[in-house]
Amino acid sequence: MKKVIIFLMIVLVIFTLGGCQMETKYKTQEEQIEFLKKHESQMTEYVKSFNKTIQTVEFDWNATDTGVVGNGTPQGGGVVIRVSGYVNDDPKLGFYIAVNSTLESTSSFEPEQDIYFLSNGVAYLRQGE
């Protein structure tokens, strides 16, 4: 009986620590999304700057996630937040922007990479005009 109680206490401690870490991660992700939403107008202008035919920009905040940037090394080039959306009210005209996950610059929106426009699930890098 004593061993069962000790085992249950160890499991409880592990779940408590894991839950605290998960809560911190989500809070940080929520803070990151709030930061990006505050700079939505700058992000919209950034997307529009890639093509003169872009009239409207819609961001899909529910699809925002994080990922590792590949740079040819096993550890990758860093962690970015991928903000996706679509242009001209057409979900088929998708795009995503990679933003540094540390969000070191709190005064303005600064993309980590160029924008990627999506076509049939394939991402194409587009340089600004």
90 φψ region: left (φ > 0), alpha (ψ -120 to 50), beta (else): beta
The encoded tokens of residue 18 equal 């894991």
Cα angle value 8/3/5 (rounded, 5°): 35
Q: Which residues have CB under 8 Å from 109's CB, separation 6+? A: 36, 39, 42, 43, 46, 99
pLDDT in tens, 1-17: 888 888 888 887 787 76
**Can you say whether residue 91 is alpha, beta or left, with left for phi > 0 and alpha for psi between -120 and 50 degrees?**
alpha
> Looking at the predicted structure, is the pLDDT value of residue 23 above 50?
no
Q: Which residue has the higher pLDDT, 109 or 23?
A: 109
Report the alpha-carbon angle 124-112-26, nearest 5. 105
pTM: 0.60
Q: What is the mean pLDDT of the chain?
A: 73
pLDDT tens track for 113-129: 566 666 655 555 554 44
